[in-house]
């Protein structure tokens, strides 16, 4: 299982990005794309999102031909320098017909693009088609939805279809879960990969989700939310060193999560060719 680090590390990128192997970057975020590329290595896995949702919220429109050209150029530049490269389809928000038109357009150009099955407007026949025609695809639209009421019942239905295909063909499709990295989800469904921006809370607030239950000696000491930083007297070098330690710990926990979940599903007979 791969856990892609999405979003940005801000001023901590020089420390954080060398520790990461899996990078998810929005194509429209040119500065972040350039910043991350400095740390790509042979063992890195790169997942590029078109940034369609961000563009939609800002009232911008992405040109599919421009996106396709970028995909070709990026693949040519990095295909022999990193472990894997995937691109997410250019979705038309709220228009599944247009989204599939974009998917077909990119497919015909021979570009390895992940179609996205959304929780909103879901149709079983669409998933059945995707399972048969694509070896990797994504589930989206789960961020902000209530897990017990919406996401789990929906994923139960989706993975019931996927499970049927697996039992019939002995081939488990590779599913990427967009914006989901919860243990409760990842130990429940055999996903190939997921992504999360939670590591960014270290840079933003000096906090870590993993540290809330940690017994590490530096838990909670000397870290202050940046927006309140002026109210405190602290040593910058000591504070930055502490944040680096927390960030390092956070990233290590995601890597450990990857290892544990991969082993969990391997013991159940689910092994992906990575």
Q: Which whole-number Å values give the CA distances from 35 to 51, 73, 84, 266, in the listed order?
A: 17, 17, 19, 35
| pLDDT the model gives residue 203 | 74
Please give the pLDDT value at position 123: 85
Residue 271 domain-assigned?
A: no
Domain count, the chain: 1
Tens-of-pLDDT digits for all 274 residues of the chain? Answer: 999 999 888 888 999 999 999 999 999 999 999 999 999 999 999 999 988 777 766 777 789 999 999 999 999 999 999 999 999 999 887 778 888 999 999 999 999 899 999 887 788 999 999 999 999 999 988 776 677 777 899 999 999 999 999 999 999 999 999 999 899 999 999 999 999 888 887 777 766 766 655 544 444 444 444 443 444 455 667 777 888 888 888 899 999 999 999 999 999 999 998 7
Q: What are phi and psi of 268, to 5 degrees?
A: -100, 5
- Strand 45-49: give its sheet, edge to edge: 113-114, 84-88, 45-49, 22-26, 2-5, 193-196, 174-177, 136-140, 116-118
Residue 272 forms part of a structural domain: no
Which pLDDT score, from 0 to 100, does residue 232 have?
43
In a domain, 172, yes or no: yes
* The token pair that represents 250 in the structure block: 């956070």
Say if 274 falls within a structural domain: no
**Which residues are 177's β-sheet partners?**
139, 194
| pLDDT at residue number 242 | 81
Q: Is residue 273 part of a domain?
A: no
The domain that holds 168 is classified in CATH as 3.20.20
Contacts of 273 (CB under 8 A, 6+ apart): none
Examine residue 98 and state whether it is found in any structural domain, yes or no: yes
Output the CA angle 94-182-15, nearest 5 degrees.
Answer: 100
In a domain, 49, yes or no: yes
Which CA distances in Å does 74 have to 36, 37, 102, 123, 136? 13, 11, 19, 33, 20
State the pTM of this model: 0.87
Q: How many CA atoms lie within 13 A of 79 on its CB side?
A: 9
What pLDDT sits at residue 105? 95
**What local confidence, expressed as pLDDT, does residue 16 receive?**
92
Domain encompassing residue 15: 2-266
State residue 66's pLDDT score: 94
**pLDDT score, position 216:** 46
Structure tokens at 268: 């159940």
CB-based contacts of 164, cutoff 8 Å, min separation 6: none
Secondary structure letter of residue 172 according to DSSP = P
HSE on the CB side for 64, CA within 13 Å?
A: 18
């Amino acid at each position: 299982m791969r856990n892609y680090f999405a979003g940005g590390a801000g001023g901590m990128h020089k420390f954080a990005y060398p520790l990461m192997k899996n990078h998810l970057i929005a194509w429209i975020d040119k500065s972040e794309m350039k910043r991350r590329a400095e740390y790509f290595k042979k063992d890195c896995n790169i997942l590029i999102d078109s940034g369609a949702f961000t563009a939609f919220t800002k009232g911008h429109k992405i040109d599919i031909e421009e996106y396709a050209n970028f995909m070709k150029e990026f693949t040519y530049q990095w295909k022999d320098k990193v472990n894997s490269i995937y691109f997410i389809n250019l979705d038309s928000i709220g228009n599944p017909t247009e989204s599939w038109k974009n998917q077909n357009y990119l497919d015909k150009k021979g570009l390895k693009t992940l179609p996205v099955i959304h929780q909103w407007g879901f149709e079983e026949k669409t998933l059945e088609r995707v399972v048969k025609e694509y070896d990797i695809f994504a589930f989206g639209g789960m961020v902000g939805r209530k897990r017990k009421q919406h996401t789990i019942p929906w994923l139960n239905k989706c993975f019931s279809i996927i499970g049927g295909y697996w039992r019939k063909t002995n081939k488990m499709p590779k599913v990427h879960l967009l914006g989901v990295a919860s243990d409760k989800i990842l130990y429940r469904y055999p996903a190939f990969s997921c992504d999360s921006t939670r590591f960014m809370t270290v840079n933003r607030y000096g906090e870590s989700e993993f540290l809330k239950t940690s017994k590490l000696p530096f838990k909670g000491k000397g870290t202050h939310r940046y927006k309140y930083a002026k109210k405190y007297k602290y040593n910058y070098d000591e504070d930055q060193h502490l944040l680096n330690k927390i960030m390092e710990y956070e990233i290590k926990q995601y890597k450990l999560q990857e290892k544990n979940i991969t082993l969990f599903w391997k013991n159940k007979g689910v092994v992906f060719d990575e």
